[in-house]
């Protein structure tokens, strides 16, 4: 069971020498949320070490394992680490760390400050917590404070918001990466799953990127093709579309992207970054 980090960090904090302030720290907070992890942080050689999942999930990074070690990737950096080695790579550049990752109880522990700052996040501490703050997503120069997702089912719908900067940036990047060429507006589309209409699209979700006043700076809607027809009949219809409400334009999209976004949203929800605004599902 995951637990909120609350153990006292002793002997050192984030590579700093021992102090009363550091020794009293009781929580790790990422983008304003007290994060949960499968194990408490530890101190090794004067550095706070945390389970890899703590970093990868809460900074919206992807993880790949290889014979060399583990690679963490977000929009800023690709970091490769190896257990029991102080040699790491950041965007292909070889770097020597002050302490090496290690495996304990089938978990790999990594240096918190090194990984967080390599991902562009700021690390600070006070008497009760260590804080990691990710850069805010900016759209047209405006800082984005929340990503609002809305979706509907047969009876009712849900509106919820993510306030984790790293998650919001990652989801925005996926939308830009997989948004394809502009296409014509489909003849039939709706929140409803129209099983009797060839070429109909159902709306997966509506995403609004909100500023600090709650105003939408950008809205994307994602759609999937209703597939209850023989594949031969569907060959001329793209399987996924994305609608840019600001430009009133439609573009090709990807089910791979839809799945990646859903995975990020599920992880954000599990880790406490999601807030439900309304739920009218019966």
Report the largest interatomic distance among the alpha carbons of the chain, rounded to a whole angstrom.
70
Average pLDDT, the chain: 86
Asked if pLDDT for residue 18 goes beyond 50, the answer is no
pLDDT grade, residue 179 (50/70/90)?
very high
pTM recorded for the entire structure: 0.84
Query: Tens digit of pLDDT for each residue in 26-82?
Result: 578 899 898 877 777 788 888 888 888 888 888 998 888 888 889 998 887 899 999
pLDDT given for residue 250 in this prediction: 98
pLDDT digits over 107-137, tens only?
999 988 888 888 889 988 766 677 899 999 9
Please, which residues have CB within 8 angstroms of residue 142's CB and are 6 or more apart in sequence? 211, 217
| Annotated domain spans of the chain | 27-134, 139-279
**What letter would DSSP give residue 89?**
E
- C-alpha span between 134 and 174 (Å, rounded): 18
Q: Which three-class secondary structure state does DSSP give residue 261?
A: helix
pLDDT band at 3 (very low <50, low <70, confident <90, very high): very low
Render pLDDT for 137-158 as a digit per residue (tens, 0 to 9): 999 999 999 999 999 988 899 9
CB 241 within 8 A of CB 255: no
Tokens representing 239? 């399987």
What's phi and psi for 129, nearest 5 deg? -155, 155
Look at residue 62 in the predicted model and tell me its pLDDT.
Answer: 87
CATH class given for the domain over 27-134: alpha beta
CA 142 to chain centre: 20
């Amino acid at each position: 069971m995951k637990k909120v980090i609350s153990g006292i960090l002793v002997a050192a904090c984030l590579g700093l020498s021992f102090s009363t302030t550091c020794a009293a720290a009781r929580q790790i907070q990422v983008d304003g949320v007290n994060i949960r992890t499968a194990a408490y942080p530890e101190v090794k050689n004067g550095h706070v070490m945390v389970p890899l999942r703590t970093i990868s999930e809460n900074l919206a990074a992807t993880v790949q394992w290889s014979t060399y070690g583990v690679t963490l990737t977000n929009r800023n950096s690709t970091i490769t680490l190896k257990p029991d080695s102080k040699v790491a790579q950041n965007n292909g550049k070889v770097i020597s760390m002050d302490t090496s990752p290690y495996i304990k109880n089938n978990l790999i522990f990594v240096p918190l400050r090194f990984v967080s700052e390599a991902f562009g996040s700021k690390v600070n501490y006070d008497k009760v917590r260590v804080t990691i703050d990710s850069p805010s997503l900016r759209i047209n120069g405006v800082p984005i404070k929340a990503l609002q997702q809305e979706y509907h089912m047969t009876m009712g719908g849900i509106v919820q918001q993510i306030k984790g900067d790293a998650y919001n940036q990652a989801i925005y990047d996926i939308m830009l990466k997989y948004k394809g060429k502009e296409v014509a507006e489909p003849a039939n589309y709706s929140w409803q799953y129209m099983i009797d209409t060839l070429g109909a699209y159902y709306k997966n979700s509506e995403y609004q990127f909100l500023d600090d006043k709650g105003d939408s700076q950008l809205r994307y809607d994602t759609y999937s093709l209703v597939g209850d027809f023989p594949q031969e009949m569907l060959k001329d219809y793209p399987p996924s579309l994305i609608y840019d409400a600001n430009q009133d334009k439609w573009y090709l999209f990807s089910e791979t992207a839809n799945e990646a976004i859903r995975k990020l949203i599920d992880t954000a929800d599990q880790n406490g970054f999601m807030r439900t605004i309304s739920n009218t599902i019966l």
